[in-house]
Structure 1
Amino acid sequence: MKTLEIVSLKEIPEVHSHDYHQLVAPLSGSAEFEIAELSGRLDSGRGCILPSMVRHGFAGDGSNRILLINLPTNMVAVEHQAIFRHYGWFTIDAGLMQLLAATHHELTLFPNDKHLQSSLVDCLLRGLNLRFANNKQISSKMDMQAITDYLARNLDRAIHVADLARLACLSESQFHSQFRKTHQSTPHQYLLQLRLNYACDLLKENDTSIANIAQLSGFSSQCALTHAMKKYLGVSPGKYRQRVQGEA
């Protein structure tokens, strides 16, 4: 196993896991990745973190060149271990893009110099670690869009802050703080509002049972939906349906 390698991912999907940590960053082109329950696109603005033994699937999208950083778990320096506590995505900003380009250039010139490779890896990990420490990853529009997309796709499931923090590659406390700064509400409040909005849309559009609408919008029961609507909207689901359908 090489510490640094450049590969082209085939368009035929593959699924596997491995007993070492891996960072994946595109040099050109793009690829689709699915990491546990998270799916997304690997492109010029985003790379992914794959801790050891995390099952993941991937497929290249046409022509692509991907930089892989492969790290045995016992060879990761203490100061870099936090990077691999969670799987998920990281933003490739202009600075990281330059580091990746320089790494590609040096690796092409000196493909067998292990000391150079070690230094390049340490530089990339250090840059990524500093960005995580400064919370810059979650502040980007791309990452916030990934989070809101994830919420929209999974409204009918139980969603925990830990899931969202993992998607953003942050600790739960860091994620909670950054989310409040961005949305002026807690993740729980934001998710509840999404669920209520979706439930109201369903009540407007069709005659599906209220119990089924509660399930589709992620409430634990019809009673939970009724309680939330009465508390925040001042009306029960049945009364809301009568009112909006009467106005149609």
Structure 2
Amino acid sequence: MSKPINKGTDERANLLSPKPAELVTLPSFMDCHDHQYTQIVIGLKGTVEFEVSGKGNLVGPGQGCVVTSGNDHAFGGVIGGSDILVLNMPPPKNDDPLILQKLNQLALEDTYFQLDGSIQKLIQMLSVEMQASPDDLLLSRACNDTVIALLQRHMLNYEPSKKESRFSLDAIDRYIEQHLSRKITVAQLAGSVFLAESHFHHLFKSQMGITPHQYVLGKRIDFAKSLIEKGQYTLGQVAEFTGFSSQSTFTHAFSRLLGMSPRHYKKTHNVK
């Protein structure tokens, strides 16, 4: 006996699933994330900066990169409105794993690639059609299938001078100072210096000796101390200004790091 189909569940799954192919305009700031599916990114207009597994590079029109599933990466537009074509690959199936095996192998050998002129023209034509009909799922699927089928036969060696991964403590400090009153994630810190999250975390800990989370917490406590010493704010306001979710959370963190409560610290500095 066949199981009943839950249409609501299927519809929600479809809404959460990425389109097979989509056009994306990237902002000038960096973002960082990962996803549980392989993705191919091809530049259409402008210049995009990518970092995948610690390998940074610029991607222009006709160039691209492969991001395998679960591999966190940083990306952002560099010049003007940077447009990209994104091909989202489905999870591998037992009956047809060949294409994803090839792509995963490709990513190990050449994360970045250059396409020849013939497939670039085809991609531009498909992009124009997709731009005219952004909600056409059949067109999106056809674009994905067509480009994937031709991709490996039209790839060229791509060996420009690769950008070195950047670790600027000044840039990290500026980002923290600008966002200290709110939650700051490791992914956001990584994006502030154009690095993928896992690479940033490893690099930060190896150079600073502490985790990014510990560093941000130290910054919050240092700022809290300066606010308390000014004597212009209540401890509740200090907790809010320094990004703690509550005064009790602030008190616990402050006491653990300094060995005294914020109230005691206030008294030691003769603040009423």
Q: TM-score, normalised by structure 1?
A: 0.51
Evaluate the alpha carbon distance shift between residue 68 and residue 146 of structure 1 in structure 2; reply closer, same or farther with a 3 A threshold.
Answer: same
Evaluate the alpha carbon distance shift between residue 138 and residue 225 of structure 1 in structure 2; reply closer, same or farther with a 3 A threshold.
Answer: same
Q: Does 1:152 align with 2:188?
A: no
Please list the CA deviations of residues 151-185 of structure 1 after superposition, one character each: whole Å capped at 9, or x if unmatched: 11111110111112223333322111100122111
Query: What CA RMSD, in Å, does the superposition of the two structures yield over aligned residues?
Result: 4.2
Unpaired runs of 5+ in structure 2? Answer: 1-21, 33-46, 52-57, 79-116, 121-153
Distance 2:196 2:59 in 1: 24
The structure that is helix-richer by fraction is 1
1:122 counterpart (158, 163, 172): 158
Distance 1:78 1:160 in 2: 25
- DSSP-derived class of the 1:87 partner: strand
Q: Which amino acid aligns with 2:29?
A: I
Partner of 2:29: 35
Percentage of pairs with the same residue: 28
Greater RCO, CA 8 A, separation 6+: 2
Partner of 1:41: none
Partner of 2:13: none
Which stretches of structure 1, 4 residues or longer, exceed 4 Å deviation after superposition?
Answer: 82-85, 117-121
Distance 2:61 2:72 in 1: 12
Partner of 1:240: 265
Q: Please say if residues 49 and 84 of structure 1, whose CA atoms lie closer than 8 Å, have aligned partners that are also in contact.
A: no
Q: How many residues align?
A: 160
Partner of 1:189: 214
Distance 2:267 2:65 in 1: 62
Partner of 2:49: 49
Q: TM-score, normalised by structure 2?
A: 0.47
Unpaired runs of 5+ in structure 1? Answer: 1-17, 23-32, 39-46, 52-66, 91-113
Distance 1:79 1:235 in 2: 47
Partner of 1:203: 228
